[in-house]
Structure 1
């Protein structure tokens, strides 16, 4: 019977999954901060318009 060592393949797949999860996490953080910055900008714009009236 031929023995196949799949350990390097499993380890590589595990590392790729971890790398993908970290990338998605940081991209999500960037998106959240951009959305919060946009919302803050819109609120500041509304406040300045109300104060100028």
Structure 2
């Protein structure tokens, strides 16, 4: 599952996808500041963030 927050893109993973079941659901957050230069459509992302 992918989630957009005001500052990052968050990826949620089910148990066993990354860590053992005992750890539960894992979330990895990537701040926009780290990926914005690699995006093809920066304007679309910026417009989306302005709507929030």
Short-chain TM bin: under 0.3
TM-score (norm 2): 0.24
Greater relative CO (CA pairs within 8 A, separation 6+):
2
Larger radius of gyration: 1
TM-score (norm 1): 0.23
- Structure (1/2) with the larger strand percentage: 2
- Structure (1/2) with the larger helix percentage: 1
